Structure formats: structure tokens, C-alpha cells
Amino acid sequence: MNILSIDIGTTSMRGILYTQSGRVLDSCHYQTPLITTEDFIEQSPQVYLDHLVHMCRYMADRHSVDAIALTAFRSSPVLVDEDGNALNNFIMWQDTRNADICSRLATCNHQIYRRTGTSINTVFTAGKITWLREHCPDLYDKACKAVVVPDFLIHFMTGEFVTDRTYGSRTSVMNLHTLAWDSVLCGLFHIDESKLCRLIDPGTAAGYTTPAFSKITGLASGLPVISAGGDQQCSLLGLGVYDSSSLAINSGTGSFVLTLLDKPYLENYNMICNVSAIPGKYMLESSILASAAAVNWTVRELFPEYWREGEPDFRSMNQLAEITPPLANGLICIPHFQGCGSRDWNPSSRALFCGLSLRSKRADFIRALYEGIASEIAKSVDALPSSCSTAQEVYVGGGLTKSDVYNQILSDMLGRPLIRYSDSQATAIGAFLSASVCLGLYDSYQDAFLAAREHSHITRYIPDMECHKKYLSYMRESENIYRRM
């Protein structure tokens, strides 16, 4: 049995075809650059439909596909009619147009957090739907459903309006205790519950491919489409984290510090507690809003000669960062290109390079940026409950971990070893694991993980503890700069 794992990231999407044993048969990759204006960050729904069709055609022309596993980024809604046609662009998770709505609801934050595990924030889905209701009332009234990206594509493939609970727990209107839509919270956000999709558990079949989808892609009709869970939930699976004794740090467009819990943790408003990809378990998460996105901007704007085919030339960037000593000759970066993430929930914060002098060199900017991102991650790890923050098994994945220099800086900043698998596609692997257990190919996620990772090479990064001491002072100084900003 071959499983097509579809992994939709914020600025790209990929399809990876796995055999039953977890071996990669083939893959394809598409860029999905965002529509960015002074006020809004959006994406055209047609972009996802076109790439999904191309991806499926590519695989159908070359291989047998027996099932589809879908994972995607979270918290970016669009309104659709009863046939699943989009009525507007997706409002992306980084978009902050709903800041006034969040400010209005700030007095309800305790109630929202205790019910959902998420504090009121511009990132989450409900506030964006409220904005659509207030600013586009005709579209809202016309809409059959408000869906996020995976729901939109599931309907396109199967005709079903469903969403799994990992995405539901990112809305601020799904009760984390009952795992159902919360009528009180829907009332607070003025959202009609009828416009929300039916909730299902992650790792279950959301539906089956329709004859219409089969006709345009060449895939067979009736293939199971498994909603594997959100991208960060799947990355935990793909990195092999199955309890709170281990941490995962997934560094893609943003960075996410993740661990698994047996029950909800609701003691820190700056932590996000969501449903995990494993039914019955929960995930604790802290987010850094711009990581690879910040690197991409820096390279594209300041080092265009190293910007190739839509991404940085990491080999060249590593060479620049390696010739710069730790602390980047005094240059400090506060990498809040999209605001400060969950550790302080400050969307109005902005990025800063400070400490420039006549001895500063261009290469210092790369080192300073890597150190700034690593510092934000380390501060987020320190904010975790002690049962999690002391974990010594730290697994890393995501596109930014293509840089060995960045990985070493992160190890030095944390003061603990890091483990990186040679296949950095942790999210896609997690989707495969979810689907393979759903389909009965393996008895447990651990068994599926061992099969999928059997031939993966492991790289360990050991911290330089003298450098770690310097970085502890650096973290205090960077935090002081942020607070003064």
C-alpha cells in the first residue's frame, strides 16, 4: 500500500509518496508565495487547488496511490458556499486585521483560555471569522461554512465538510474538555455554530475521493483521505516525541517548541494547549512567529546573490555565519518580523538589528539573525513547565535545520544536545504515521515510526558550554532591549 502524504506549509506545499514500510517512492514540491499588502496577509484558494491537482496527477501518472494523508498549517479561514467554492481569500495566520476584535475580547481572556487552552490572540481562527462577519456581512451571510485550508481541500477531494480536532483546538471556540464546539464561546465571537464543520478525531478518514476528483487527477475514486492533524501536531509524531520527557523544535516559516501531554495544561496563558495528533493526548506549544521567514527576508533583501530558486543557499549562508564569531561582533537581532510570539503575545513588536558599528560586517547579520531566533526559542523553552523544560531529548526538524551552523547555535543557546534526522520532513512523516495506524498497517505510532525512520541518519549537536554561558548573558541583554522597545 502506498500513501501520499500531502504537507501544506505557509509558503510551500509538498507531496511525498511512501510505501507501507515508510520508504519514499517519489516527491514533488510547489511554492505558494503569500499575497502581502500593507494591511493584509492572504492566500488565493485557487493556488492550493491547482497545486493539489498537479501533485495528484504527477503521482497518478507514475505510481499506484492507495490512500491520502493530509496535514496543513492551522488557523487561516476562508468562507465557502454549499458547494465548497471560496467566497474570499484565505486570511493567513500571520494577518493581524482582527487586532481590534481581540482587544474588545481581552476581558474574556480567562474564560476563553480555561475552556480552549488558547489565549485571545490575532493568530487564532475565531477572531478572523468575526472580522469577516463584521466587515463582509454579505459574504458571511451567504457562506455555508467557514473552513481552514485542510477542510477546504478535504471537501474538494471528498465532498465532506469536516475538520479534525487539532484544527478545532486552534479556533478559540472548541472546548478542550468536551472536544466539541462551545456555544458560549461561539456567542462571544458572534459566530454561528452552523457555519463550523463537523468535528472528527485526527488520524481518521475524513471521507473518500469522489469520481469528480478522480476524473481531474487520475487517482482512483474511493481512496481514503485521512486528516492526519495539524502540521505541528504531525511534526511531533514525525520526530518521535510521545511523552513530556522529550521536546521537539520545528523550525519552518515560524518555529514551534512542542511536547506531548496526557491531560490539558492550563497554568500559563503564554502557552498554547491543543489537541495532539494522537487521540486522547494533548500538545503544549510555544510559537516564534518568524524563523525561516525572517531568514528568507534577510537573504532576499540583503544578500540577493544567495537567493536561489525561491530559497536561501544555505551552504553559502553557513560559510558567512561560520566566519563570524559568537555574539556577531556585538550585533544583536530581535527577530520579531511578525511580532513576538506566544511567550509574550505581542503582535505589535517589530524586528530590530542593533549594535552596529564601523567594525560590523555583512556576515554579522546572518549570525545575529540565527542567534536571535535561537534566543527566542530558548526563552520559550524556559517558559515551559518544569516537567517539560528540563527534557534532555531535544529533536529538531523543519527547513531552517538545513543549516548546521544554526543547529549548533541553537544547541549552544539551549545548553543541551540536539538530535536531527537526515530526512527533515518531520511533518510529512508524521502524516504518514497517522495514516498508517488509521489504516491498520501498524499497531502503534511507535512501530510505524521505527519503520519510517529505519534508514534515517542521525546528527547530534553537542553544546559548547563556554559559549552557552555567553549566550545566557546575551539572552538577558536581548530581552532588556525588547522590553525597552
**Domain end position, chosen among 167, 196, 229:** 229
302 in any annotated domain = yes
- Chosen domain end from 170, 202, 229: 229
- Tally of structural domains, the chain: 2
252 and 270 in a single domain? The answer is yes
Residue 268 lies in a domain: yes
The radius of gyration of the chain from alpha carbons, rounded to an integer in Å, stands at: 21
Confidence band of 344 (pLDDT split at 50, 70, 90): confident
Q: Which CA distances in Å does 53 have to 30, 78, 156, 279? A: 12, 20, 10, 30
Residue 30 lies in domain: 3-229
160 in the same domain as 215 = yes
**For residue 430, is it within any domain?**
no
Question: Residue 209: what are its φ and ψ, rounded to 5°?
Answer: -60, 135
Q: What is the pLDDT of residues 161-210, one digit of tens each?
A: 999 999 999 999 999 999 999 999 999 999 999 999 999 999 999 999 99
CA distances from 375 to 105, 201, 234, 255, 471 (A): 31, 35, 25, 12, 8
Asked if residue 310 has pLDDT above 80, the reply is no
Are 243 and 353 members of one domain? yes
pLDDT category, 153, cuts 50, 70, 90? very high
Among 200, 229, 258, residue at a domain's last position = 229
Shared domain for 291 and 411, answered yes or no, is yes
**Helix-strand-coil split of the chain, %, nearest 5:** 40, 25, 35
Give the residue ranges of DSSP H helices in 222-275: 231-238
Do both 266 and 164 map to the same domain? no
Residues 250, 339 share a domain: yes
Strands (E), 411-471: 418-421, 458-461
What pLDDT was estimated at residue 315?
87
Q: Are residues 70 and 207 in the same domain?
A: yes
Judge whether 403 lies within some domain.
yes
The DSSP symbol for 346 reads B
- Tell me whether residue 282 is in a domain: yes
Instruction: Give yes or no: residues 201 and 280 share one domain.
Output: no
Q: Give the DSSP H or E segment for 156.
A: helix 149-158
Query: What pTM was computed for the model?
Result: 0.90
Banded model confidence at residue 383, pLDDT cuts 50, 70, 90: confident
Instruction: Give the mean pLDDT of 100-107.
Output: 95
If asked whether residues 254 and 222 sit together in one domain, one would say no
What CATH number did the domain enclosing 362 receive? Answer: 3.30.420.40
What local confidence, expressed as pLDDT, does residue 116 receive? Answer: 97
Q: Match 550585533 to its residue by C-alpha cell.
A: 331
Name residue 30's beta-bridge partners. 13
Query: In the predicted model, is pLDDT for residue 424 greater than 80?
Result: no
Q: How much of the chain, in percent, has pLDDT values that exceed 70?
A: 100
Establish if 270 belongs to a structural domain: yes
Q: Which parts of 194-331 are beta strand (E)?
A: 198-200, 204-208, 224-227, 246-251, 255-261, 272-275, 282-288, 307-308, 311-312
Does 464 share its domain with 349? yes
Average pLDDT over residues 404-413: 96
Is 48 found in the same domain as 183?
A: yes
What's residue 388's pLDDT? Answer: 75
Cβ atoms of 251 and 401 within 8 Å: the answer is: yes
Distance CA 277, CA 270 (A): 21
Mean per-residue pLDDT of the chain: 94
The whole-angstrom separation of Cα 376 and Cα 356 is: 21
Q: What are the b/e assignments for 180-207, b being 16+ CB within 10 Å?
A: ebbeebbebbebeeebbbebbbbbbbbb
43 and 147 housed in the same domain: yes
d(CA 397, CA 237): 11
Residue 445 lies in a domain: no
pLDDT in tens, 431-441: 999 999 999 99
Task: Give domain status of residue 18, yes or no.
Answer: yes
